[in-house]
């Protein structure tokens, strides 16, 4: 057996004997899934996220949006969050309903359309909202014009697939899977290794007949194997138990596993990079806490970024974690194609290569 395989097996056994690691890697995501699913995964209420693509100065559009809020207020358990956009350069994100108004909407006594688009799948919730919008448009037309059909809803761009999943539970499971990868890979061992080196516990490795690259490779490989096996099991078992109905095909499963392995490798590499450049345990704790909160709340893990203000969405969409979790969700869509993963895969490969290269050069067995 090679020295890397021996070290990998030793690291796996050491990892599985660490009760704290077992809790944060295996128990914590399951408990969080149960809690958030019970709180937010039911069908007792629904908040529709509607993008309004129009000029805010158009008074008729303002009247329509106000009428939408008034109509939604009449439906128990239904709320609407309207997001104003001056223009839309891409298709709406999953779960978003988009209404695009013509530039002269309501300004002349000629037919004015508002185009309807739906991001992701049509389910019972957004399907009901679409019906409400159709009814609202008819009522709005009668109130404004009396009888003539001046305002109408254009369905030509609504090419969404029918629902195959429980929307929030599927969203939540993929987010918690990504959170498990990121939190365990980047934060789960960084502080421990930094403190071990600070206390001199890593000095003994200098007398062993191995290079730093052997230790780094075995450390990454051992964690990658444990995380990949658990996350695959967690993802598909949780989806089966909660009945999300995600498609399970050779293409989607293989795409998910490849994406997961690349994500694990990338974020483990970033964790090792932190270990290589941070010298003190207290500094490691501070940096991890500073990074951890934005990663949790601004990476679309279990709080949809689409509901946040535009400037926050623009920042959040630059995060590698955001790319990773949304690529993971795209794998479970019926219309998934492997080419959709290109940007995310290249990003994760670049992160892995740069982080491992810097780590191999700067990693030290002891604090200098």
Cβ burial of 156 (10 Å; 0-12, 13-18, 19+) is exposed
In angstroms, the first-to-last Cα distance of the chain is 33
What are the domain boundaries of the chain?
Answer: 3-39+166-362, 46-154
Cβ burial of 224 (10 Å; 0-12, 13-18, 19+) is buried
Note whether 186 and 271 are within 8 A (CB). Answer: yes
pLDDT at residue 352, as a whole number = 92
C-alpha atoms less than 13 angstroms from C-alpha of 361 in its C-beta half-sphere? 6
CATH architecture of 46-154: 3-Layer(aba) Sandwich (3.40)
pLDDT at residue 165, as a whole number = 43
The residues near 246 (Cβ < 8 Å, ≥ 6 apart) are 164, 165, 170, 239, 252, 332
pLDDT at residue 259, as a whole number = 93
pTM: 0.63
Rounded to an integer, what is the distance from CA 23 to the centroid of its chain? 23
Rounded Cα–Cα distance for residues 105 and 110 (Å): 9
pLDDT at residue 230, as a whole number = 92
**Phi-psi group of 198: left, alpha or beta (phi > 0 → left; psi -120 to 50 → alpha; rest → beta):** alpha
- pLDDT tens digit string along 159-209? 544 444 456 678 888 888 988 888 887 766 777 778 778 888 777 777 777
pLDDT at residue 162, as a whole number = 46
pLDDT at residue 263, as a whole number = 92
pLDDT at residue 328, as a whole number = 87
Collapsing DSSP states into helix, strand and coil, what is residue 126? helix
Cα 79-82-87 angle, rounded to 5 deg: 155
Please list the ranges in the chain whose pLDDT falls under 50. Answer: 160-165
Note whether 260 and 232 are within 8 A (CB). Answer: yes
**Which element (helix H / strand E) includes 233?**
helix 212-242
């Amino acid at each position: 057996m090679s020295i890397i395989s021996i070290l990998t097996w030793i690291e796996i056994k050491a990892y599985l004997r660490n009760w704290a690691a077992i809790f944060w890697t295996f128990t914590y995501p399951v408990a969080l899934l149960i809690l958030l699913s019970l709180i937010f995964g039911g069908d007792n209420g629904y908040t529709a996220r509607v993008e309004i693509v129009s000029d805010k100065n158009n008074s008729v559009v303002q009247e329509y949006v106000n009428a939408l809020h008034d109509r939604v207020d009449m439906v128990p358990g239904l709320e609407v969050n309207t997001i104003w956009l001056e223009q839309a350069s891409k298709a709406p994100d999953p779960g978003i309903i988009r209404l695009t108004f013509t530039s002269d909407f309501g300004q002349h006594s000629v037919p004015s359309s508002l185009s309807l688009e739906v991001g992701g799948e049509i389910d019972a919730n957004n399907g009901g909202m679409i019906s409400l919008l159709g009814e609202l448009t008819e009522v709005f037309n009668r109130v404004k014009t009396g009888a003539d059909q001046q305002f109408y809803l254009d369905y030509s761009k609504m090419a969404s697939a029918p629902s195959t999943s429980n929307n929030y539970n599927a969203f939540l499971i993929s987010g918690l899977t990504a959170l498990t990868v990121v939190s365990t890979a980047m934060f789960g061992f960084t502080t421990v290794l930094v403190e071990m080196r600070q206390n001199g516990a890593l000095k003994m490795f200098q007398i062993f007949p191995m290079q730093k690259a052997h230790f780094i490779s075995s450390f990454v490989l051992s964690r990658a194997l444990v995380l990949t096996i658990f996350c695959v099991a967690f993802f598909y078992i949780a989806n089966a138990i909660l009945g999300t109905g995600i498609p399970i095909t050779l293409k989607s499963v293989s795409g998910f596993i490849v994406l997961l392995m690349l994500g694990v490798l990338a974020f483990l590499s970033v964790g090792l990079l932190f270990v290589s450049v941070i010298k003190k345990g207290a500094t490691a704790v501070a940096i991890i806490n500073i990074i951890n909160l934005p990663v949790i709340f601004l990476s679309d893990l279990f709080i949809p970024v689409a509901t946040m203000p535009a400037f926050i969405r623009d920042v959040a969409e630059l995060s590698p974690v955001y790319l990773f979790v949304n690529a993971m969700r795209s794998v479970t869509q019926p219309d998934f194609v492997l080419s959709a993963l290109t940007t995310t895969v290249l990003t994760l490969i670049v992160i892995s290569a740069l982080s491992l290269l810097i780590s191999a050069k700067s990693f030290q067995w002891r604090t200098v």
